[in-house]
């Protein structure tokens, strides 16, 4: 029988514990698919006394993840600690430095330090695998790096954060406001005590940066991703979106243009007929567009112990079988130097909601400003009349440039009749 592949897991939280559980529960199946037994032989975590609901008998324990990474008895390091820096990064760098394969679910570390880590992995001929870093159990990385490898990818778009998708889905279904639904999501365990990384779009933007690097063969560039979260989405906007035939989703979009690569994460209004509009609750979805394959969409659970462990173990099986590719699909020397395209260059349609004093001439003033900036209106909704009081006015536009829209909004916000900051959402035909 072939020698077992020895796994060391750094971090025994949801992800690490789920990986240990899966490797034990499906050991025979995994051994058959890996071509050899796969066994966890050592772990590293901070608190030895904590009851994790797992059997840790017979496993060697390390207090220091870097010491685990350097241990010669470990064939593969699974990093399940999290965080862009600190011991997680140190352990990964230590393993790669000695040529040891690494499997990680750490999207923050890859988004910020992915280019350097990929360079180290390539220099040491050490596999760096991260299927679990994006969209949990959805094989988004394998789809780009393997299944769609023959295609020029033109666009990647997806719902990449289950917390935000749950909140927006519940707001629409129940007509409730953001703060109330967020509090409920925290009680249910769908949102962290400090939900900022999720609701401000940062977690999803980390994943988008990784997908963009893979899709377009360029170094990871998180700093160039435009990021907006969902704090500003109101129940009123969701209701108006329904009336107009749209759904509001937090979506990441990375696309190649003649000017370079654009990557942006923000709330989007998508037509209700679009498949991605119906991805609800905590589910994620990723859509790819390739020159020969056309459009492909994958949907599934984007987080949790089971889905994330599934992706980690898939990478371990690839390592056992020797199925290894460069971390970002091509050798470092072949990565593209295409420039990043700013959000101001976007061309698309927009939804605007204005809270205005209901008096004659207001709409004419708004229309004149939009005309001055070459923004053409497609539709307008106004609900209710209350002379001298605030009413919502909703406008949708034809395709225009974001820079022009931003300039127009700045002038509209300064009108005396506009009593709150305008709400603007981008419309995308996904």
Full 3-state SS string of the chain: CCCCEEEEEECCCHHHHHHHHHHHHCHHHHHHHHCCCEEEEEEECCCCCCCCCCCCCCCEEECCHHHHHHCCCCCEEEECCCCCCHHHHHHHHHHHHCCCCEEECCHHHHHHHHHHHHHHHHHCCCCEECHHHCCCCCCHHHHHHHHCCCCCEEEEEEECCHHHHHHHHHHHHHCCCHHHHHHHHHHHCCCCCCCHHHHCCHHHHHHHHHHHHHHHCCCCCHHHCEECCCCCCCHHHHHHHHHHCEEEEEEEEEEEECCEEEEEEEEEEEECCCHHHHCCCCEEEEEEEECCCEEEEEEEECCCHHHHHHHHHHHHHHHHHCCCCCCCCCCHHHCCCCCECCHHHCEEEEEEEEEEECCCCHHHHHHHHHHHCCCCEEEEEECCCCCCCEEEEEEEECCEEHHHHHHHHHHHHCCCCECCCCEEEEECCC
Catalytic residues: 207
Gap between the Cα atoms of 400 and 380, Å rounded: 17
Residue 155 burial class via C-beta count within 10 angstroms: exposed 0-12, middle 13-18, buried 19 and up: middle
For the record, the structure tokens of 35 come out as 């071509």
Helix axes 235-244, 162-174, angle to 10 degrees: 80
Do 249 and 265 touch, CB atoms closer than 8 A?
no
Close Cβ partners of 185 (under 8 Å, ≥ 6 residues apart) = 163, 166, 167, 170, 191, 195
Q: Torsion over CA of 160, 163, 164 and 165, rounded to 10 degrees?
A: 70
């Amino acid at each position: 029988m072939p020698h077992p592949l020895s796994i060391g897991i750094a971090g025994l939280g949801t992800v690490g514990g789920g990986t240990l559980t899966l490797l034990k529960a499906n050991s025979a199946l995994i051994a058959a698919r890996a071509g050899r037994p796969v066994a966890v032989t050592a772990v590293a975590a901070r608190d030895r006394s904590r009851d994790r609901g797992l059997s840790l008998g017979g496993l060697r324990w390390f207090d220091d993840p870097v010491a685990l990474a350097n241990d010669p008895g470990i064939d593969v390091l699974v990093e399940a600690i999290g965080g862009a820096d600190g011991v997680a990064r140190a352990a990964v760098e230590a393993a790669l430095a000695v040529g040891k394969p690494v499997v990680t679910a750490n999207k923050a570390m890859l988004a910020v330090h992915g280019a350097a880590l990929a360079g180290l992995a390539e220099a040491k001929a050490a596999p760096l695998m991260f299927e679990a870093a994006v969209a949990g159990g959805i094989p988004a990385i394998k789809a780009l790096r393997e299944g769609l490898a023959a295609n020029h990818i033109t666009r990647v778009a997806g719902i990449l954060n289950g917390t935000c998708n749950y909140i927006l889905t519940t707001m629409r279904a129940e007509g409730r406001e953001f703060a109330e639904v967020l509090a409920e999501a925290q009680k249910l365990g769908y949102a962290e005590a400090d939900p900022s990384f999720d609701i401000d779009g940062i977690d999803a933007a980390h994943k988008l940066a990784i997908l963009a690097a893979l899709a377009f063969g360029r170094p990871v560039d998180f700093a160039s991703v435009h990021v907006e979260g969902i704090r500003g989405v109101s129940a009123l906007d969701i209701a108006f979106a329904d009336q107009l035939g749209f759904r509001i989703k937090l979506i990441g979009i990375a696309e190649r243009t003649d000017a370079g690569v654009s990557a942006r994460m923000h709330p989007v209004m998508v037509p209700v007929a679009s498949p991605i509009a119906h991805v609800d609750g905590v589910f994620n979805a990723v859509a790819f567009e390739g020159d020969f394959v056309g459009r492909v969409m994958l949907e599934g659970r984007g987080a949790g112990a089971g889905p994330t462990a599934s992706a980690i173990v898939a990478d371990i099986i690839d390592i056992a079988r020797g199925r290894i590719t460069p971390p970002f699909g091509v050798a470092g020397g072949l990565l593209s130097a295409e420039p990043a395209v700013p959000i101001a260059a976007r061309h698309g349609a927009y939804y605007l909601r204005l809270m205005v004093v209901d008096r004659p001439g207001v709409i004419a003033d708004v229309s004149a400003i939009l005309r001055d900036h070459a923004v053409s209106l497609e539709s307008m909704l106004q609900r209710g009349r209350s002379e001298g009081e605030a009413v919502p006015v909703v406008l949708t536009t034809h395709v225009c440039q974001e820079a022009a829209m931003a300039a127009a909004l700045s002038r509209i916000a300064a009108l005396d009749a506009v009593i709150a900051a305008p709400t603007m959402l981008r419309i995308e035909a996904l």
